[in-house]
Structure 1
Amino acid sequence: MIPEAIARPTLLLVHGAWHGGWCWDKLRAALDVEALQACTVNLPSAGGRSGIAEDVHVIREALAAIDGPVVVVAHSYGGIPVTQAIADAHNVIHVVYLAAFQLDVGESLLGFYGVPTPPESDVTQAVPDDPIAQFYADVPSFEAGKAVERLLPQSTQSFTDAVERAGWRDIPSTYIVCENDQAIPAERQETLAVRSDEIHRLASSHSPFLSMPEDLSVLLSKIALGASS
């Protein structure tokens, strides 16, 4: 039998662009039911002008503060700094890419889409024009509206910085494809998911932590406990 301390790693939840640690609140409550502890971060690229390096620093600080094994869950843009931050992070036993950018060394978010680098004057990217359609298509309208109110401009540099180290090459990884995603279409996610060791799918839009937190928590619990066995 696996000791409880080993069988239940801590989850570190890393949000995507324009968001903050607040977006995980419903999922953290659902993870409590699964008896899994979860921590969050607030990436400085959301609401600031920081690039990947500053986000990586925050994630590594959070990892260093956690005792015992960690499963990192990265959403959307969060997959980029997570990919770099987990390299040489000795307590990370697994990484989960939730509709996330699982990039390789030398790749950037805009490069993945083949988009040219914006002018230097564009230091931040405004919240998308229709964030409910992109991020929260299957989230109850009142809750989606409250989430939109909390979104922040995103640093342009975070979209142009290239990954320097790819921790998923050494750490086991799982990709969760959100099949009804309007922000990162499922076919785009599938091209990234082939880099993971296993793939799961949810019939959700871009933010299952708000639209189906219980389903997501059950899946993450299965992945986390499997990683620690």
Structure 2
Amino acid sequence: MADTETGAAPLLLIHGAWQGAWVWDGFRAALARRGDQRPAIAVDLPGNGADGAPPATASLPAYLDHLDRIVADIGRPFSIVAHSGGGVVASALAERHPGLTRRLVYIAGMMLPSETGFADMVNHLLPTDPTASGVTPWLDWPIPGEISVVPPEAAIAFFLQDYPPALAVAASRRLTPQGERGRALTAHLTPERFGTIPRLYVQALRDRSVTLPLQRLMCDRLPGATIRTIDTGHAPHVVAPDALLDILLPFLDSPG
């Protein structure tokens, strides 16, 4: 059993676009059922989830300023677990705090090279793979080009197709509007800071949002991560938290 007494690093859990800290509820509960006492800190990024700030305020600088305060509160080395678009935020935070970031985990996440956007990956594949566009063609735009919303039926089809239907409907209705400045992100990364941190990439084999070819392309473009797979759609932390923990914990608790 891993706990704070055995030196297990706290986990900082970073959600993706349109989501909030709530998406980690099942993951945290599964961790607790194992008797694992390490802190697992799920955050609402500014302008997302239950944060309360307008979606238009979402941006990478706002995210990092908020996370810097959480890092200060943690006060010791930690590991980051990020899902989907939260991967870019995780990379940028690790670049800021290489001495405190013990491990980096991307769950079907946007693990991108320095100064590269996810759209660059999508555009690379689109000529031969139209599914690379994921949920984007189905988005509603209350403020065109600035704020997007995922219709519940699209959320179920692209994010939660492998979740029990009633639970998928409930989760789809918890998604919130997303500011585009908090979604179209790039991070400046360096070998001597970000590049020193051990990384794990969990490829979701049935992902319809960040499709498997996109996940593989990102792993190729930013090599060096340990790669594992899980037989789920886009949200294994929601639909299969125990199976995900079976993959994550050996990496998170490995020495070094």
Match in the other structure for 2:19: 19
- Whether 1:88 aligns to 2:88 is no
Deviation at 1:178, TM superposition (A): 0.4
In the aligned structure 1, how far is the partner of 2:240 from the partner of 2:84? Answer: 17
Match in the other structure for 1:188: 214
TM-score normalised over the length of structure 2: 0.80
Identity %: 25
In the aligned structure 2, how far is the partner of 1:168 from the partner of 1:33? Answer: 32
Q: Secondary structure in 1 aligned to 2:200?
A: strand
The letter for the 1-side match of 2:73 is: A
- How many corresponding residue pairs? 224
Q: Mark the CA change 1:121 to 1:220 in structure 2 (over 3 Å): closer, same or farther.
A: same
In the aligned structure 2, how far is the partner of 1:6 from the partner of 1:95? Answer: 20
Give the counterpart of 1:54 among 26, 46, 62. 62
TM-score normalised over the length of structure 1: 0.88
Deviations 1:189-228 (A, max 9, x none): 01112434210110010011121111112222211111x4
Q: Which runs of 5+ in 2 are unaligned?
A: 49-53, 127-140
Match in the other structure for 2:236: 208
The letter for the 2-side match of 1:184 is: V
Match in the other structure for 1:40: 42
Moved more, 71-80 or 217-226: 217-226
Q: Mark the CA change 1:43 to 1:196 in structure 2 (over 3 Å): closer, same or farther.
A: farther
Give the 5 Å matches for 1:142-161.
Answer: 142-161=166-185
Deviations 1:84-117 (A, max 9, x none): 11113122111001100011221123233239xx
Q: Mark the CA change 1:19 to 1:196 in structure 2 (over 3 Å): closer, same or farther.
A: farther
- Whether 1:225 aligns to 2:232 is no
Moved more, 188-197 or 162-171: 162-171
Runs of 4+ in 1 over 6 A off after TM superposition: none
Give the counterpart of 1:127 among 136, 139, 150. 150
The letter for the 1-side match of 2:158 is: Q
The letter for the 2-side match of 1:59 is: L
Moved more, 212-221 or 43-52: 43-52
The letter for the 1-side match of 2:10 is: T
Q: Which runs of 5+ in 1 are unaligned?
A: none
Match in the other structure for 1:164: 188
The letter for the 2-side match of 1:71 is: S
The alignment yields a C-alpha RMSD, in angstroms, of 2.4
In the aligned structure 2, how far is the partner of 1:225 from the partner of 1:127? Answer: 36
Match in the other structure for 2:131: none
The letter for the 2-side match of 1:201 is: T
Structure number with greater CO (CA < 8 Å, separation at least 6) is 1
Deviation at 1:39, TM superposition (A): 0.5
- Whether 1:65 aligns to 2:88 is no
